[in-house]
Amino acid sequence: MMKRRVVVTGMGAVSPYGVGVAPLWQGLRAGRSAIAPLRHPEAARVRMKVAAQLPEGIDLASMLSESMLPLLDRCSQFVVIASNEAVRQSGLDVRANGDRIGAIIGTGIGGVTSHDEQSKRLYGEGAERMHPLTIVRTMVNAPASHVSMAHGLRGPVFSVSSACASANHAVAQAMAAIRSGAADVMLTGGTEACLTFGLLKAWDAMRVIADDTCRPFSANRRGLVLGEGAAVFVLEEMEHAKARGATILAELAGAGMSADAGDIVAPSADGAALAITRALQDAELQASDIDYINAHGTGTMANDATETRAIHLALGAHAQSIPVTSTKSMHGHALGAAGALELAATIAALDDQFVPPTANYEQVDPACDLDIVPNVGRPAKIRAALSNSFAFGGLNAVLAVRQA
């Protein structure tokens, strides 16, 4: 039986560049970092000094229905808004086809904003009662459920949580649902709103946070910078999309997943390489077909050197001729949403035939001996590309996209 091919017909985003894929791509293409001084009421009590946050003045509430708003944690607000954009771009009447459409959304932490707020009331202020909607705001499946309800989707709907690989795992599972025939269309992606006081203090304690900015693959990198946001994609079976005359943005050609089965935080080159290799095999691509890699590239000493080794292991001699960038240098590390923002950037690069840069790059690191595109992007012929996500827990997910 011929494998059902899966294409992308819509994208939406909420990011530190604002609402929409267009401002996200314009910022990344220009090499303009959205990392700025941390804006938080408790900023003076954390060591973290910078973050990639939504621009000030964005009124998310105005983009959501009044009846839905009380039920939504910030991470659910992000994903519903992003899903609205993706559905609009797809041109698909999702409500008329809801029985054959589902939603799989990745999030590393879920409704932690609501959890933090209610914990402060309970433990810090001695409140006797918590908000009656606390459970439905904080449950990890809430973002997927709200996307389903917002668009009338009655197909497979659930959440995926695998730390920083959550979005890529969600996209891979959505692709599998279409390939299997369980659905014809899936909304998928990732969302995260992780800049709460409790999590800022927790990340401080890990001592992997940069105190100035994010410099992936640069010899003087000092750690990661947290971000927030969401991106959502409309995935569609190719013949279904063609039959309705949809504009196809890219083909989601394959996915590769693996587990290191090693350390809970230290990355493994072998585990990451296995996910890359499996993505190529699933997409029926050769190493020489890959013209761009959007790297996981967190900006920590261990991650970037390990990812470099993994790329060499999986792609062999061709590795050094592939342009590699980490867009986390600009939109920050949005944990469970990171892969979604990066997939949006990868598809935009494919469409624009332009490789975005790794911002803030200053010094060559011999341990990162790849074609790291420093500070200024470049035009390039991109036939196929990879987007890497490697998570705490040793969980790896790599997506392969190509021109349709």
Give tens-digit pLDDT for 59-74: 999 999 999 999 999 9
**Helix H or strand E segment including 275:** helix 269-283
Question: What mean pLDDT comes out for the span 122-131?
Answer: 92
* Confidence check: pLDDT of 188 > 70: yes
What pLDDT was estimated at residue 1? Answer: 60
Task: Confirm if 269 and 367 have CB atoms less than 8 A apart.
Answer: no
Identify whether 131 is a catalytic site residue.
no
- 164, 194, 214, 368: the catalytic one is 164
- 333 in catalytic set: yes
pLDDT 10s digits, 360-375: 999 999 999 999 999 9
Question: Using 50, 70 and 90 to split pLDDT, how confident is the model at 3?
Answer: confident
| Active-site entry in 194, 296, 331, 368 | 296
Render pLDDT for 266-289 as a digit per residue (tens, 0 to 9).
999 999 999 999 999 999 999 999
Q: Active site includes 194?
A: no
- pTM strictly above 0.85: yes
- Measured CA to CA in angstroms, residue 27 lies from 191, 192, 219, 359, 375 at distances of 19, 20, 24, 11, 12
- Of 26-35, 86-95, 118-127, 153-162, give the lowest mean pLDDT range: 118-127
As assigned by CATH, the class of the 254-402 domain is alpha beta
CATH superfamily of 6-243: Thiolase/Chalcone synthase (3.40.47.10)
pLDDT at 2: 74
User: What residues does CATH 3.40.47.10 cover in the chain?
Assistant: 6-243, 254-402
Position 162 confidence tier, pLDDT thresholds 50, 70, 90: very high
